[in-house]
Structure 1
């Protein structure tokens, strides 16, 4: 069992006045749950109305302050008074907690969500927040025979980012030997590689972490890259899996040997030395956004200044007082541009398509000391706060992404999606004064047609600075001194930052992966048409598992950490099936794989990001969505909870 699930809240020793000062910034729904845990009494839930989900547009619309859960400031202060009384009674009895029976817990879940829940959702919440301290996601092998079989089941994990570290922790906990191959000199994956100015996650940090290893010390609600990398590095250190990682080493090829039923993994280190590892299974945790894609622009190599990809930002680069170009207007550019606008002499933004953005006043906001105090000291506050972040991000806008086949408006895909378009349009219009600039930055495609971004006003403010120009004319060529656009202008610059994305449709690229009977994975996927059952297993490739594989990217379904835990849970239970049955390999049945992918394609095609009028990085060059998972997290959790042996061929 992961020991942190059993961790108790720290004692509350502060004076009431000091506590009162800490409460203003706290999450009201989570506070209500903590009150019930401290008192054992659900009476407060009848005195305070249930929370409601509000979107960020509504919360930022002006007028009376609206807090998380839709509470007014006066309602929040009522909860604060209830909390102070609960804390006083809790301390008076020595900080002991009453036991809550299952019926009370079920009432809390339903109060938090605002409606009656079916058994499946109740089971999901119980597992996710583990109020009882029971870890249901690890692999527990009960018999000595299973433990002995596990010890003789070596696994190679490719990548030491979020997914790879998680897989190593869980395998190590189960007694399954593993070796992690990491091409970088450190842990973190995309968060190790991306360190451009302003690089941060765009989901709340308190849900961008492993469920069994909460981090109460994020400095910002949306943490910067270095802090995220440090979190995963600490997890690897604390769970003693760093010793299993071979850094500065890259997987060159992986070949399945039919005769032995094992994988031979060829690796090469930073000095060019090759080695071959033999494994019973291979877990790819390389992700989707790990190979930068420079733009194919004529003359790119002729530029005399600094030209680089945002994911390979030069160490120590100082662009103060320089003329800088940013090519791209997606997620990375969105974070880079406000930073460069503050230091460059002139910044030219080459935009092919504008981005929809949610207004988020807290996007750069530090986590206050009150919040850190509550996460550590208020019983169960941290668990309920994490669940609130998860629930509101997964359920809040899902319906607005679904396409209505009878909807005819090209700028939206349904009536609900059009309401969102109008709200987001109004917010952008409120930020931009120049009609010419507004015409450039206001999208004409449906919300969620491309990746939707978070903004606290800094991006649109940056575009309106006198030293910033937004260019929408297409780029014709790069010269020795700058960028020439299709309108004939030469934009002279000293540096070019290419925020142009990744080879997102080339999964496991550039490794040569060869499966049963010499079948090439690259050929089976036709290069850019990756498909996998549940995004995890692939026919013809026994005991090959993917984390963050084809069609597992989340668009509106919360933190990718949730999906990683579901995928690792499934992989662990596939391994358990092999150990229990004494089999060498399992391989996904082709018919099962095909039926699943037909469903994925059909559901994706009926979304804002899958509609034909939208071009985005989620789609491959044939227009098929290869990146995104179209299901709710609860649906995917159920699909990956336990493998069905009938889906596989065992050998």
Structure 2
């Protein structure tokens, strides 16, 4: 599909007439070196094709803005699943919800009236589907299409994208720009546990949870106490006959975020019909409410610095809260409550009901021991006894190494898989060296450790649109961030991040699931990051032009605006807000008065 004229006001330009002028008047068009003036105005957007991987929140965001603001661009989104929604389509396990307030986990340009303080996965997925339908971007998305390879062709300056339709024949889609909107939380795999394949009951992974699985009255084992495990355990404990779980390493289970604005004592309250109506009918009130919650996540950045009063206070508060809720269960306190690392070392999870579930009568919690051996009927406990269960749920998360799931072969045959395996070098988490005309949402060193991911998508998208327009209007063959610029950014980031709690000794998914892995987070606040993306530093890129004269885009010396009937004095301000050229009636100024 081709993006429409975003302005909706440009009149066609008669290029044939423009190009006839040099011959008509005998103007020179070419010099002795062979350089030739291209007889078109500057600012003309050459046609481009964009391929986007993913139909989740990032992909929908790109499609909406590209449709509204790009000109002469054809684009398509390939989504491997049978519906849109990305991680919120795939993650359907019991209790699955966002871990930041729902009113901040939405597009800034499409506020929604949510049912609860923390929205559930189905509600978020319905929101995304509703946005796609409302803004008519579903037509750009090809469902059941999986990208399996991307290879850059330097000769023509295009990507060859290998696409495998579900049940169809593989094909190659060629594009000028390749955008990876797949996100880091979509590649799961079964953990390597002895005997897993022999279990004759029901086994489920949190990232591929079977719809309609009834756990009522069943014996259930849940392995993993990351975000998904915490939510599952809290959600199912009351309905199962017996619950088994394991604590292998400590983690902070925090009080719910933004409780000051949670409207009551319930950690995840439902909004009343009266409250929803107030937010629906009073946009200014809703904006203030959203801004209060969003600002809370920004101003508390001091928590992420080692040794600050904020960090120390957060650690003491969370430790005390956890100990209070687990009172009388010293073995669980000893195993679960962190002693050595501060809050924020790994992403803290709001855990309403989780701690209570761990110490309930129908729960067996094993400490300092993992699920190491599975049998046909259940698993082997720390004492060597077999415990029979009906269902095993593996909440073991995702592969979060940032290594692409398929080959991405850039300039000189460099494979991004190899590059990110050895050293995840990136440019602000939005592009990568040796990868021309390639952009990504939330790549290595993006701002993942802070607040809502959805809010940041606007900034990624706007950055990409600016790059696309630059390529379109400046006769650019390709651009990729300079290697030395990425190295120096990484040098600064690595040194800076040593002062943060993210560098402490804990396993986290922004360190690739390792305790000693490199920290792949942006070294600063979201505010700073937003400002960087708002003002692209084109000098940080190796730019290759379509011709050997980078000034060829100046063309015939005119701008598109000189021809397309837009206001030629726009810089003085627009009359009635209309960007159009016209002669205004000012005769009253000269009428004589008696």
Query: Could you state the TM-score of these two structures normalised by the residue count of structure 1?
Result: 0.73
Determine the structure 2 residue equivalent to 1:525: 420
Distance 1:438 1:213 in 2: 43
User: Which stretches in structure 1 are left out of the alignment for 5+ residues?
Assistant: 1-137, 405-413
- Secondary structure of 2:501's counterpart equals coil
Q: Do residues 542 (structure 1) and 436 (structure 2) align?
A: yes
Among 185, 204, 223, the alignment partner of 2:119 is 223
**Cα RMSD for the two superposed structures:** 2.1
Distance 1:226 1:531 in 2: 35
For residues 476-487 of structure 1, what are the structure 2 equivalents within 5 Å? Answer: 476-487=372-383
Distance 1:630 1:139 in 2: 35
Q: CA deviation at 1:616?
A: 2.2
- Secondary structure of 2:476's counterpart equals coil
Distance 1:354 1:624 in 2: 18
Distance 2:387 2:302 in 1: 43
Native 8 Å contact 1:309 1:498 kept in 2? yes
Q: CA deviation at 1:565?
A: 1.3
Write out per-residue CA displacement over residues 352-379 of structure 1, whole angstroms, 9 at most, x where no aligned residue: 1233122235542111223322322235
Determine the structure 1 residue equivalent to 2:355: 460
Q: CA deviation at 1:139?
A: 7.9
Determine the structure 2 residue equivalent to 1:237: 133
Distance 2:61 2:328 in 1: 48
Distance 2:403 2:508 in 1: 17
Distance 2:351 2:9 in 1: 49
Among 623, 633, 651, the alignment partner of 2:526 is 633
Write out per-residue CA displacement over residues 609-632 of structure 1, whole angstroms, 9 at most, x where no aligned residue: 212x22222213582335433321
Determine the structure 1 residue equivalent to 2:579: none
Determine the structure 1 residue equivalent to 2:26: none
- Secondary structure of 1:524's counterpart equals helix
Distance 1:524 1:453 in 2: 31
- Secondary structure of 2:408's counterpart equals strand
Q: Aligned in 2, Cα 1:645/1:627: closer, same or farther, shift over 3 Å?
A: closer
Q: Do residues 203 (structure 1) and 100 (structure 2) align?
A: yes
For residues 398-477 of structure 1, what are the structure 2 equivalents within 5 Å? Answer: 398-404=301-307, 414-436=308-330, 437-444=332-339, 445-456=341-352, 458-472=353-367, 473-477=369-373
Distance 2:62 2:489 in 1: 24
Among 301, 304, 324, the alignment partner of 2:200 is 304
Native 8 Å contact 1:507 1:549 kept in 2? no
Q: Aligned in 2, Cα 1:147/1:160: closer, same or farther, shift over 3 Å?
A: farther
Among 471, 482, 490, the alignment partner of 1:589 is 482
Native 8 Å contact 2:508 2:515 kept in 1? no
Distance 2:378 2:468 in 1: 54
Write out per-residue CA displacement over residues 388-410 of structure 1, whole angstroms, 9 at most, x where no aligned residue: 111111212x1122124xxxxxx
Q: Do residues 377 (structure 1) and 273 (structure 2) align?
A: no
Distance 1:479 1:606 in 2: 45
Q: CA deviation at 1:443?
A: 2.1
Determine the structure 1 residue equivalent to 2:511: 619
Q: CA deviation at 1:649?
A: 1.5
Farther-moved stretch of structure 1 (279-288 vs 638-647): 638-647
- Secondary structure of 2:277's counterpart equals helix
Among 340, 348, 365, the alignment partner of 2:269 is 365
Determine the structure 2 residue equivalent to 1:344: 240
For residues 597-612 of structure 1, what are the structure 2 equivalents within 5 Å? Answer: 597-611=490-504
- Secondary structure of 1:537's counterpart equals coil
Native 8 Å contact 1:256 1:516 kept in 2? yes
Native 8 Å contact 1:551 1:625 kept in 2? no
Write out per-residue CA displacement over residues 32-63 of structure 1, whole angstroms, 9 at most, x where no aligned residue: xxxxxxxxxxxxxxxxxxxxxxxxxxxxxxxx
More helix by share: 1
Native 8 Å contact 1:157 1:164 kept in 2? yes
Q: Aligned in 2, Cα 1:626/1:506: closer, same or farther, shift over 3 Å?
A: same
Determine the structure 2 residue equivalent to 1:573: 466
Between Structure 1 and Structure 2, whose CA radius of gyration is higher?
Answer: 2
Native 8 Å contact 2:497 2:519 kept in 1? no
Aligned length: 497
Farther-moved stretch of structure 1 (571-580 vs 427-436): 427-436
Native 8 Å contact 1:288 1:507 kept in 2? no
Q: CA deviation at 1:593?
A: 1.1
Q: Aligned in 2, Cα 1:147/1:575: closer, same or farther, shift over 3 Å?
A: same
